[in-house]
Structure 1
Amino acid sequence: MPDYTAIAARLSGQPDLYALLYQAAAEGVTELAPLLAACDAEVAARLRSVDQGLLRAILRVGAGHEAVQGASEIVAHLATATPAPVFMPEINASRSIPLPTSGQRPDMPAFSDRAFDAWFTAQGVPYGIGLYGENRSVYATDQFADKASVERRTVHLGIDVFAPAGTPVHAPFAGKVRHLTYNADPLDYGHTLILEHEGPVPFFTLYGHLGGSLPSLLQVGDTVTPGQLIAHLGDWHENGGWAAHLHFQIMASLLEQTKGNFFGVGHAGLWNVWSQICPDPNLILRLDPLRFAL
């Protein structure tokens, strides 16, 4: 039986509750409720302020389990599935350039800088590729912080595909519209679509930074077929304030997010958790690995 009182005492006043929660799992803590009951009011409030599904995932990984039940089955299923192309013409049959954000392209404006449009047009390619698992300084702001840790969420959980505003987006698999919403905060997703897909274990795909055509194309509860037109890339005024692109992401679980949004970036210190919740989207996009390298 874990010593909840002793473990809770160690959490008091600490800046990174996630790391200590991970350690607590190794001491046998598997449930949040008794730990929260043992914590002082300040720590309990900090833990309750964040997604409880994420906290449970941290406990699971800390105890040696997968972050969410069925995550490995989803990855195995996607590795052998046959997705329809999300973009036409297919990216692998077209020219593209990788768009890392850590200074490898010193002349490249930030994705949130309107100067990016002219820069990208000058590259003379139909597609630009933003990287999964990349630690991005653009996210090191209070918008990507929470009360459980001083660490910001800065690691990108999706793959970005840059193309002109209005470019069609297609469903990779059959599915159902789980969420269709407009996330209006600056540097959020703007128009957003989340599809639920069947498999050995259900999973989800997220399409962020879409155009205003989305509500006329789909409604919550609609079914979609592989290859179906589901959206268009949005322009600055409708996509959260970014150069036109698709943020494409896989989720093994929506955790406790119920309002049509989901984390697009995770904590570097919790990458072993986040990378299971949101596995590599290239399991679906199937881009040649060389397309991610300069």
Structure 2
Amino acid sequence: MQPLPDQPDLYAALRASKAAPEDLPALIAASPAPVAARLRAADQGLLRAILRAGLGQSEIATAPHIIAHLQSLKPESLFRPDVASSRTLALLTNGEHPGMPAFSDRAFDAWLKAQNVPYGIGTYGEDRSVYRTAQFADAISPERRTRHLGIDVFAPAGTPLYAPLPGRVLHLTYNADPLDYGHTLILEHRAEATPFYTLYGHLAGTLPALLRPGAEVTAGQHIADLGDWHENGGWAPHVHFQIMTDMLDQRAGNFYGVGHSSLWDVWQAICPDPNLILRLSESAFTLP
């Protein structure tokens, strides 16, 4: 087994190694100690997905099946009234709205109310400058995770959310770090026998009273409410809604909400476009 070179971007080195995913432990063992330590600190499921990409394979073997399954469904609305049939505003974050406060600035609430729309939409795949901080870095690469893996829907605190698909409660978690998800729900679903997952972040403290771990959820069931600043990680009230085809090695009720631009093909397989479920028109993600 050829060791990986000691270089700043080990993700790129992994992709170029042409090693098989099942050979990851041997690859780590063969690498110099500093490289091995950095690799062991990473999510091993993500590393295996990168190795598959380097071989030209599907980054997540089940992703094409899950995406096709979602395309065949008619999901229930996440909000009532449905966002897809309501007026919305695309909340683009790279200067498109010169007067818009940051989502983590309490002045944002008044700004959004003044826009006179029921829902604000944060887009999937947007490269957000707010994430270019040490909180979104890791030991494998100097590149920050800046590409948004979910769709954000902004509405007043306390707005109810409804399950778009039947499933089972996998995690109910309070992710308490500043600018994390706050109250978080992860549901497990099935595409025939294949599991996949949806994540709902920035929820209200009503969550534990609505659901319990392991509980079955029916499509259309009231599952959560939008959280306020003190309980949702310190953000303007909204839900971060995300699909995961694989939980990788994340087992503590949290999951990456942003990914690397250089690994966008990999992240798209792990977290495909949530609009597979929300079914918003293209105009919801662009300015008039």
In 2, the alpha carbon distance for the partners of 1:93 and 1:268 equals: 31
Which secondary structure state, in structure 2, belongs to the residue aligned with residue 89 of structure 1? coil
Which secondary structure state, in structure 2, belongs to the residue aligned with residue 146 of structure 1? coil
1:30/1:60 contact within 8 Å kept: no
Percent of matched pairs sharing the same residue: 63
Q: Deviations over 1:212-243 (max 9, x none)?
A: 00000001000100000000000000000000
Which secondary structure state, in structure 2, belongs to the residue aligned with residue 249 of structure 1? strand
1:254 aligns with 2:247: yes
Match of 1:280 in 2: 273
1:30/1:59 contact within 8 Å kept: no
In 1, the alpha carbon distance for the partners of 2:125 and 2:49 equals: 18
Which secondary structure state, in structure 1, belongs to the residue aligned with residue 172 of structure 2? strand
In 2, the alpha carbon distance for the partners of 1:22 and 1:283 equals: 28
For residue 203 of structure 2, the aligned residue among 204, 210, 213 is 210
Q: How many residues align?
A: 286
In 1, the alpha carbon distance for the partners of 2:26 and 2:85 equals: 54
Q: From the superposition, tell whether residues 19 and 216 of structure 1 become closer, same or farther in structure 2 (CA, over 3 Å).
A: same
Deviation at 1:92, TM superposition (A): 2.0
For residue 21 of structure 1, the aligned residue among 14, 18, 36 is 14
In 2, the alpha carbon distance for the partners of 1:168 and 1:119 equals: 22
In 2, the alpha carbon distance for the partners of 1:66 and 1:113 equals: 40
Normalising by structure 1, report the TM-score.
Answer: 0.95
1:71 aligns with 2:29: no
2:84/2:278 contact within 8 Å kept: no
The amino acid that maps onto 1:150 is: P
Deviation at 1:253, TM superposition (A): 0.4
Match of 2:148 in 1: 156
Q: From the superposition, tell whether residues 29 and 170 of structure 1 become closer, same or farther in structure 2 (CA, over 3 Å).
A: closer
For residue 39 of structure 1, the aligned residue among 17, 31, 38 is 31
Normalising by structure 2, report the TM-score.
Answer: 0.97
Q: From the superposition, tell whether residues 102 and 15 of structure 1 become closer, same or farther in structure 2 (CA, over 3 Å).
A: same
Deviation at 1:198, TM superposition (A): 1.1
Alignment of 1:43-62 (within 5 A): 43-62=35-54
Unaligned runs of 5+ in 2: none
In 1, the alpha carbon distance for the partners of 2:17 and 2:190 equals: 34
Q: CA RMSD in A?
A: 1.0
Match of 1:95 in 2: 87
Query: Structure 1 runs of 4+ off > 6 angstroms?
Result: none
Unaligned runs of 5+ in 1: none
